[in-house]
């Protein structure tokens, strides 16, 4: 086979281009310390690396959701802790004023003034805000859920945040459950749907079902016959009537405090004695609610730790696939550099021939 000068020139050019391309790739790997810098370097590994990075970013977003929910729940627990202390004080007053030995109309009027302050403090706790959002308003976080008369203007919505692919956690407790006992069982526990929604569609369907259950339950409760209270009085141009709460199975804390204050002002010993049990039930209701809030925080902490481990695993997977072996890269660079130098030397001898060399 006859090898023409053009063929030799093309061969030299191709070899030099190949060697320089290999050297450029190796230098790029050494600079970035990555074996894969573009999908064409390893398509299969690139797909796995992109999937790992997607999972990692999703886990980081879930961690942000957990931090938001955890701060909201911890603030809720702090507010409920203050409410617990207030109810304990109200129960102490009820026990003191329910006996004949250490109680009199004057002491009961004095205790009524303190109960009035406890009532106002309870309303303030019910209207607590975290940032620009009311804690106990349900979905209605832009307006105060309770007024001074104890009327609830929020809803019973649970603000659920996604903390994993198929896990949602409610970061709030609505005020009608905590302060009015709506939807609570006789044991003071809030009952939630045990089925965990896996996507936004299932979440909307579950909320619609819960809303329908609440409507049906409210209709059944409204059918009950209301009972007459023992007394009534006025305060700050707002009329308060001592009536038992027949709209829920739980305890209406604001009504309990209001009835207790009215009983003290009217020197109704029987009602003061019954307030002990009512305040005890309210205290149990708040404690159970705090226990559920605490269990959510515990589950959030566990989910956060699990996500942290998942992020480390995803980073390890991506590192194994795309990180370069520096010892191997440096060795290949030395080998390619030697090859390039040899190619330049041999090509210089081959391409050194000119037309005058043939005419000699």
pLDDT at position 351: 62
pLDDT at position 349: 65
pLDDT at position 136: 92
Residue at token pair 């730790």: 305
Is the pLDDT confidence value at 290 over 50? yes
Residue among 252, 227, 235, 230 at smallest CA distance from 112: 235
Stated length of the chain:
360
Question: What is the full DSSP assignment across 68-95?
Answer: HHHHHHHHHHHHHHHHHHHHHHHHHHHH
pLDDT tens for 167-189 read: 888 899 999 889 988 876 544 44
Residue 86 has which token pair? 């207030």
Q: Please, which pLDDT band fits residue 20 given cuts at 50, 70 and 90?
A: confident
CA angle 16, 22, 24 (to 5 degrees): 100
DSSP-derived 3-state class of residue 41: helix
Mean pLDDT in the chain?
A: 79
Percent of the chain residues topping a pLDDT of 90? 31
pLDDT at position 216: 67
Q: In Å, what is the CA distance from 97 to each residue of 105, 110, 187, 267? A: 9, 10, 27, 10
In terms of average pLDDT, the best of 38-42, 206-210, 312-316 is: 312-316
pTM (global) more than 0.75 = no
Per-domain residue ranges of the chain: 54-314
pLDDT tens for 99-151 read: 767 778 888 889 999 999 999 999 999 999 998 899 999 898 999 999 998 89
pLDDT tens for 57-73 read: 999 999 999 999 999 99
Close Cβ partners of 92 (under 8 Å, ≥ 6 residues apart): none
* Ramachandran area for residue 123 (φ above 0: left; ψ -120 to 50: alpha; else beta): alpha
pLDDT at position 238: 45
Looking at domain 54-314, its CATH architecture is: Up-down Bundle (1.20)
Average pLDDT over residues 210-222: 63
Q: In Å, what is the CA distance from 17 to each residue of 13, 21, 79? A: 6, 6, 72
pLDDT at position 357: 57
Q: How far apart are CA 346 and CA 7, in angstroms?
A: 15
Is the pLDDT confidence value at 341 over 80? no
Q: Answer yes or no: are the C-beta atoms of 190 and 181 closer than 8 Å.
A: no
Q: How far apart are CA 104 and CA 125, in angstroms?
A: 31
In terms of average pLDDT, the best of 23-32, 35-44, 98-107, 305-314 is: 305-314
């Amino acid at each position: 086979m006859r090898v023409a000068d053009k063929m030799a020139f093309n061969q030299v050019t191709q070899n030099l281009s190949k060697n320089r391309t290999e050297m450029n790739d190796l230098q790029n790997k050494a600079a970035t310390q990555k074996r894969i810098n573009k999908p064409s370097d390893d398509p299969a590994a690139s797909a796995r690396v992109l999937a790992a990075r997607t999972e990692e970013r999703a886990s980081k977003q879930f961690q942000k959701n957990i931090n938001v929910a955890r701060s909201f729940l911890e603030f809720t627990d702090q507010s409920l802790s203050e409410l617990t202390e207030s109810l304990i004080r109200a129960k102490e007053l009820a026990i003191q004023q329910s006996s004949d030995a250490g109680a009199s109309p004057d002491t009961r009027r004095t205790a009524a003034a303190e109960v009035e302050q406890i009532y106002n403090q309870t309303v303030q706790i019910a209207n607590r805000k975290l940032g620009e959002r009311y804690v106990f308003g349900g979905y209605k976080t832009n307006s105060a859920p309770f007024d001074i008369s104890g009327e609830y203007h929020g809803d019973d919505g649970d603000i659920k945040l996604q903390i994993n692919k198929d896990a949602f956690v409610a970061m709030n407790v609505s005020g009608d459950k905590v302060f009015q006992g709506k939807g609570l069982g006789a044991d003071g526990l809030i009952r939630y749907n045990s089925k965990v929604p896996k996507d936004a569609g299932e979440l909307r369907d579950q909320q619609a079902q819960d809303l329908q259950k609440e409507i049906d339950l409210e209709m059944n409760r409204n059918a009950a016959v209301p009972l007459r209270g023992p007394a009534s009085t006025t305060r700050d141009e707002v009329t308060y009537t001592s009536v038992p709460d027949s709209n829920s199975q739980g305890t209406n804390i604001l009504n309990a405090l209001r009835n207790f204050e009215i009983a003290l002002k009217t020197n109704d010993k029987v009602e003061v004695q019954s307030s002990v049990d009512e305040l005890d039930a309210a205290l149990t209701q708040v404690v159970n609610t705090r226990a559920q809030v605490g269990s959510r925080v515990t589950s959030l902490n566990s989910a956060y730790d699990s996500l942290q481990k998942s992020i480390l695993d995803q980073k390890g997977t991506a590192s194994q696939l795309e990180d370069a072996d520096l010892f191997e890269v440096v060795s290949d660079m030395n080998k390619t550099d030697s090859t390039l130098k040899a190619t330049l030397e041999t090509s210089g001898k081959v391409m050194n021939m000119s037309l005058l060399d043939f005419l000699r």
